[in-house]
Amino acid sequence: MYTFTAICTDTKLAPTWLVGNRDIHNAQRFLLDLGRLIRGRFQLTSDAASFYREAVIEAFDATVDYAQLRKLYAVPMDRERAYSPPVCIASRPVVVPGDPGPAHVSTSHVERQNPTMRMSMRRFTRLTNAFLKKVYNLSCAVALHFMVYNFVRPHATLTRAAHGTPTTPAMAAGLETRPWTMADVVGLLEAEEPDARAVSKRRHDLR
């Protein structure tokens, strides 16, 4: 399974994500949801996967400044580097629709989000048996991670910019005025799912 993620470079907010196969169908679902959540014109950068072009055009038409960042990686010469990240030796921005600013064509923020997910969720640990065996459970784990990431855990860069005031991505985006606690998150779950039998039945239906 593949985890599609989006991140705002200014507020560090992750507005949407999707767990699914890495194909055009899920790319379209992911980007349509992103378009539903964001108002106004903005700049978007993705990697060079071919299906993103069609998915972005379908989701945003001409209302987004979109560019792909194509990267060239060196091929490791020995098998010892099989699980090490490849070395990027060149990159080239490719403008698709709109007029994106060249200085802001970057995938660095979302790539940094990848190790944040891996370090925050045991299920994403490589080469262990910690991975989840059911897609539904994986989707729940990812959703809980981003809930905590957006609303609970102060972001170091945002906190420094706020002169030491603990600041979450949701606060930087104007969605909240304080960091949430885990009790706040549990309270949402309890309010949404008060009947344990109903929850169990819904999970059975999803399977």
The pLDDT of residue 174 is 95
The pLDDT of residue 29 is 94
195: tokens are 């009947």
The pLDDT of residue 80 is 56
The pLDDT of residue 191 is 81
114: tokens are 């990848």
The pLDDT of residue 83 is 62
The pLDDT of residue 124 is 87
Q: Which residues pair with 93 in a beta bridge?
A: 69
The pLDDT of residue 206 is 56
The pLDDT of residue 159 is 97
d(CA 114, CA 127): 16
- Which parts of the chain have pLDDT scores under 50? none
d(CA 163, CA 201): 48
The pLDDT of residue 66 is 93
Tell me the whole-structure pTM to 2 decimals.
0.83
